[in-house]
Amino acid sequence: MQQQMAVVTLGIADPARSRRFYVDGFGWAPVFESAEIIFYQMNGFVLATWLASALAADMRRPGAAAPGPTSGPAGTGAVALAHNVGRRDDVDPVMAALERAGGTILRPADAPPHGGYRGYVADPDGHAWEIAWNPAWPIDPQGHVSFGL
């Protein structure tokens, strides 16, 4: 399947503190922001910063503590990677293939309120992959993903 990652999501504890690092430190401009999530359009994918508790709940992986720079990221639920697919019917077969290849289903696919269809699989080392059909975010033939509304 397409060699593509659509989103890197970092769990955060304090949106204003995190925003200062990315906007003032890196000098990057958000493409969308709300009280709990910010999206940055990157080079062919989207970087998201999201409240760690919401991210952990979304991937059915409770236990994320508020992480800090010295302690390192929270042990569970602090990072998610996403691979997007072009059709709703592609999500379940991809998740099944990953499970057969040693992955662990964290959350079977279902439809989120904002549309689309997605689930989460952990790789053998525990790194979480969201497998998502998101019709609002275009994917070009090279696999480059753009933020859309």
Contact 87, 129 (CB under 8 A): no
Other Cβ atoms less than 10 A from the Cβ of 9: the count is 23
Q: Which parts of 102-121 interact with a copy of itself (CB under 8 A)?
A: 102-104
Distance CA 89, CA 123 (A): 21
State which residue, 113 or 141, has the beta carbon closest to a copy of itself: 141
State which residue, 113 or 131, has the beta carbon closest to a copy of itself: 131
Distance CA 75, CA 44 (A): 28
State the residues that interact with a copy of itself by CB under 8 A: 1-5, 8, 10-14, 17-18, 20-22, 24-29, 40-45, 47, 52, 61, 63, 66-79, 81, 83, 94, 97-98, 100-104, 122-128, 142-145
